[in-house]
């Protein structure tokens, strides 16, 4: 917490609007929510990007973006964000919040990098710890806690949920040969 605050003050003083100078984050999941929840990055997302893509974008861009061409992977983060905002509000006919757009952009960054995607959308302390969100279709999740490892897979809409005895430390997402590790111990 201290670390994040001093980092922010530094950035504000420097008049920068990016966190790129700060040591933690930019896993796709952490990118949008690192500020509000340093330890467990929970996004306030109303349109889960994995299911929303299949429902609203896949008819033009293919299941899981399989019709995107070579130019797609070369878009800058800013261009990608602009396209996604336009597409969500335009042809897809959605009413996304800024966090929804950020989450869809992070999902596209993972698609472009051919890495599995994960986002935490809810984290509740209740009979232990309940954690849920979305992840790339056909991926495999290994949730690491202080005590053990719990394995789960997202459903056909990309939704996953786990009930844990001890707090989660991180999630390893695997898909095909690629993997992404979202570390909750870092701020």
- List C-alpha distances in Å: 89 to 22, 46, 83, 133: 32, 14, 10, 23
Q: What's the CA gap between 19 and 24, in Å, rounded?
A: 9
Q: What's the CA gap between 176 and 104, in Å, rounded?
A: 21
Residue 178 engages ligand HEC in binding (rule: CB under 6 A)? no
> Which part of the chain contacts ligand HEC (CB under 6 A), choosing from 77-85, 112-120, 147-155, 159-167?
77-85
Q: Which of 26, 91, 138, 146 binds ligand HEC (CB under 6 A)?
A: 91
Closest CB to ligand HEC among 46 and 83? 83
Least Å distance, CB 120 to ligand HEC, is 21
- List C-alpha distances in Å: 179 to 16, 114, 133, 141, 172: 31, 9, 17, 10, 7
Contact 174, 139 (CB under 8 A): yes
> Which part of the chain contacts ligand HEC (CB under 6 A), choosing from 18-26, 81-89, 120-128, 171-179?
81-89
- Report the residue closest to ligand HEC, judged by CB: 57
Q: What's the CA gap between 121 and 161, in Å, rounded?
A: 10
Count the neighbouring beta carbons within 10 Å of the beta carbon of residue 30: 24
Name residues contacting ligand HEC, limited to 98-157 (CB under 6 A). Answer: 104, 108
Interior/surface letters 89-101, b for 16+ CB within 10 angstroms, e for the rest: eeebebebeebbb
Closest CB to ligand HEC among 136 and 145? 136
Residue 72 engages ligand HEC in binding (rule: CB under 6 A)? yes
Q: What's the CA gap between 132 and 150, in Å, rounded?
A: 13
Q: Which of 84, 106, 111, 137 binds ligand HEC (CB under 6 A)?
A: 84
Q: Which of 25, 61, 81, 175 binds ligand HEC (CB under 6 A)?
A: 61
Least Å distance, CB 132 to ligand HEC, is 22
Contacting residues toward ligand HEC, per CB under 6 A: 56-57, 59-61, 68-69, 72, 80, 83-84, 87-88, 91-92, 104, 108
């Amino acid at each position: 917490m201290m670390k994040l605050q001093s980092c922010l003050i530094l950035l504000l003083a420097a008049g920068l609007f990016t966190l790129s100078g700060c040591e933690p984050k930019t896993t796709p999941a952490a990118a949008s929510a690192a500020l509000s929840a340093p330890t467990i990055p929970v996004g306030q997302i109303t349109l889960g990007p994995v299911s929303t893509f299949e429902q609203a974008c896949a008819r033009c861009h293919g299941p899981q973006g399989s019709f995107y061409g070579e130019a797609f992977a070369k878009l800058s983060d800013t261009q990608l964000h602009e396209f996604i905002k336009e597409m969500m509000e335009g042809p897809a006919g959605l009413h996304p919040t800024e966090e929804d757009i950020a989450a869809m952009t992070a999902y596209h960054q993972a698609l472009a990098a051919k890495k599995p995607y994960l986002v935490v959308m809810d984290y509740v302390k209740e009979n232990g710890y309940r954690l849920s969100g979305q992840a790339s279709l056909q991926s495999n999740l290994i949730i690491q806690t202080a005590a053990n490892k719990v394995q789960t897979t997202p459903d056909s809409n990309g939704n996953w949920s786990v009930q844990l005895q001890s707090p989660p430390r991180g999630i390893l997402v695997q898909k095909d040969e690629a993997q992404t590790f979202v570390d909750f111990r870092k701020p």
